[in-house]
Amino acid sequence: MNAFLNDIVQGLQGVPRESAVAIIGALPGTEVRGGVIAGINFFHLPPLEALALAAAGNLLAITPALIFLERFERMLRRNRVTERCLHWAFARVERNAARVQRWGPLGLLILTSLPLPGAGAWTGVLIALLLGLRRAPVLASLYGGVIVGGAVMTVIATAADVAVRRLFGL
């Protein structure tokens, strides 16, 4: 993720660092975890500020996505190319859907909070859509997962930043 994140940070040069962290937090490939890493390690923001900005970006992006994605999906399925993209995305998400369905909202919170590739709020939105889950409990689970996952990454990114600074005397 570091090379990918580095490319995104480079692409956002000229954007205020706080806005850049929120944008990175909103993106499906990076989400809150990437936003926290960028905020702490690239932009040298205080950890809690990086967490708040990345989480806000992630939550501001997934909320309307959850609300409007079902309608948008129907429209996208009319086009052959976008229908293939949706098929690919849903096929990837289906692996986690069974666990989430068994555990319900708690499973969605756990999935969203895991600091692993493919486990984040955007995946949670797709799973909720795939399973036809009710929006209110899904939003609560996604919000909780974003905060927990962001907090875990804040601790990891802060520890890595401190270790690098001490090791290299920066």
Segments forming the whole domain that contains residue 77: 2-168
Extended beta strands in 56-165, E state: none
Q: Do 164 and 129 meet the contact criterion of CB atoms below 8 Å apart?
A: no
pTM recorded for the entire structure? 0.85
Q: What is the pLDDT of residue 73?
A: 78
Give the mean pLDDT per block of 10 residues along the chain (170 residues).
Answer: 85 95 94 94 94 97 88 81 82 73 85 85 86 88 95 93 85
Can you list the pairs that 148-152 forms with residues at least 24 positions away whose Cβ atoms lie under 8 Å? 148/109, 148/112, 148/113, 149/31, 149/32, 149/33, 149/112, 149/113, 149/114, 149/115, 149/120, 150/32, 150/33, 150/35, 150/36, 150/51, 150/54, 150/55, 150/58, 151/51, 152/113, 152/115
At residue 1, the pLDDT reads 59
Residue 115: per-residue pLDDT: 83
Q: What pLDDT is stored for residue 62 in this prediction?
A: 94
- Total number of domains constituting the chain: 1
Give the integer Cα–Cα distance in Å for 94 and 75.
21
pLDDT the model gives residue 97: 75
CA nearest to 118, candidates 139, 138, 100, 131: 100
